[in-house]
Structure 1
Amino acid sequence: MAARRSVAVLLKRSVVSAAKSPAQTRCISSSSSPRRKVAVLGAAGGIGQPLGLLMKLNPLVTDLSLYDIAGTPGVAADISHVDTTATVEGFAGEADLAKALKGCDLVIIPAGVPRKPGMTRDDLFKINAGIVKGLCTAIAEHCPGALVNMISNPVNSTVPIAAEVFKLHGTYDSRKLFGVTTLDVVRARTFYSVLKGLPVREVNVPVVGGHAGITILPLFSQASPKVQLTDEEIEALTKRTQDGGTEVVQAKAGKGSATLSMAYAGALFAEACLKGLNGVENIQCSYVASDITNLPFFSSKVRLGRNGVEEVLELGSLSDYEQKGLEALKEELQSSIQKGLDFVKPQHT
Structure 2
Amino acid sequence: MRPSLLRTASQHLRRRRDYSSSAAQPERKVAILGAAGGIGQPLALLMKLNPLVSSLSLYDIAGTPGVAADVSHINTPALVKGFMGDDQLAEALQGADVVIIPAGVPRKPGMTRDDLFKINAGIVKGLCTAIAKHCPNALVNMISNPVNSTVPIAAEVFKKAGTFDEKKLFGVTTLDVVRAKTFYAGKANVPVTGVNVPVVGGHAGITILPLFSQATPASNALSHEDLKALTKRTQDGGTEVVEAKAGKGSATLSMAYAGAVFGDACLKGLNGVPDIVECSFVQSTVTDLPFFASKVRLGRNGVEEVMGLGELSAFEKEGLESLKSELMSSIVKGVMFARES
- TM-score computed with the length of structure 1 as normaliser: 0.91
Quote the Cα distance in structure 2 between the aligned partners of 1:11 and 1:257.
Answer: 29
Counterpart secondary structure, 2:217:
coil
Quote the Cα distance in structure 1 between the aligned partners of 2:190 and 2:8.
Answer: 20
Quote the Cα distance in structure 1 between the aligned partners of 2:147 and 2:11.
Answer: 26
Quote the Cα distance in structure 2 between the aligned partners of 1:113 and 1:154.
Answer: 11
Deviations 1:245-303 (A, max 9, x none): 01101111121100000000000000000000000131110000000100000000000
Aligned pair count reads: 332
Residue 75 in structure 1 maps to residue 75 in structure 2: no
**Structure 1: gaps (5+ residues):** 18-26
Residue 59 in structure 1 maps to residue 51 in structure 2: yes
Quote the Cα distance in structure 2 between the aligned partners of 1:47 and 1:114.
Answer: 11
Q: CA deviation at 1:126?
A: 1.8
Alignment of 1:1-349 (within 5 A): 10=9, 13=12, 31-115=23-107, 122-228=114-220, 229-281=222-274, 282-346=276-340
Q: CA deviation at 1:159?
A: 0.1
Identify if the C-alpha distance between structure 1 residues 85 and 9 changes in structure 2 by more than 3 Å, giving closer, same or farther.
farther
Counterpart secondary structure, 1:335:
helix
Counterpart secondary structure, 1:39:
strand
- TM-score computed with the length of structure 2 as normaliser: 0.93
Q: CA deviation at 1:114?
A: 2.2
Quote the Cα distance in structure 1 between the aligned partners of 2:212 and 2:42.
Answer: 30
Identify if the C-alpha distance between structure 1 residues 264 and 113 changes in structure 2 by more than 3 Å, giving closer, same or farther.
same
Percent identity, aligned pairs only, is 73
Quote the Cα distance in structure 2 between the aligned partners of 1:253 and 1:273.
Answer: 34
Deviations 1:287-336 (A, max 9, x none): 00000100000000000000000000010000000000000000000000
Q: CA deviation at 1:32?
A: 1.7
Quote the Cα distance in structure 2 between the aligned partners of 1:244 and 1:118.
Answer: 23
Identify if the C-alpha distance between structure 1 residues 157 and 307 changes in structure 2 by more than 3 Å, giving closer, same or farther.
same
Quote the Cα distance in structure 1 between the aligned partners of 2:10 and 2:46.
Answer: 7
Q: CA deviation at 1:50?
A: 0.2
Identify if the C-alpha distance between structure 1 residues 255 and 8 changes in structure 2 by more than 3 Å, giving closer, same or farther.
farther
Identify if the C-alpha distance between structure 1 residues 118 and 330 changes in structure 2 by more than 3 Å, giving closer, same or farther.
farther
Q: CA deviation at 1:127?
A: 1.5
Quote the Cα distance in structure 2 between the aligned partners of 1:155 and 1:48.
Answer: 16
Letter in 1 for 2:9: L
**8 Å Cα contact 1:203-1:223 kept in structure 2:** yes
**8 Å Cα contact 1:11-1:54 kept in structure 2:** no
Give me the CA root mean square deviation: 2.2
Letter in 1 for 2:180: A
Q: CA deviation at 1:96?
A: 0.2
**Structure 2: gaps (5+ residues):** none
Counterpart secondary structure, 2:286:
coil
Letter in 2 for 1:337: I
Query: Larger relative contact order (C-alpha < 8 A, sep ≥ 6)?
Result: 1
Identify if the C-alpha distance between structure 1 residues 300 and 202 changes in structure 2 by more than 3 Å, giving closer, same or farther.
same
**8 Å Cα contact 1:217-1:242 kept in structure 2:** yes
Quote the Cα distance in structure 1 between the aligned partners of 2:55 and 2:66.
Answer: 17
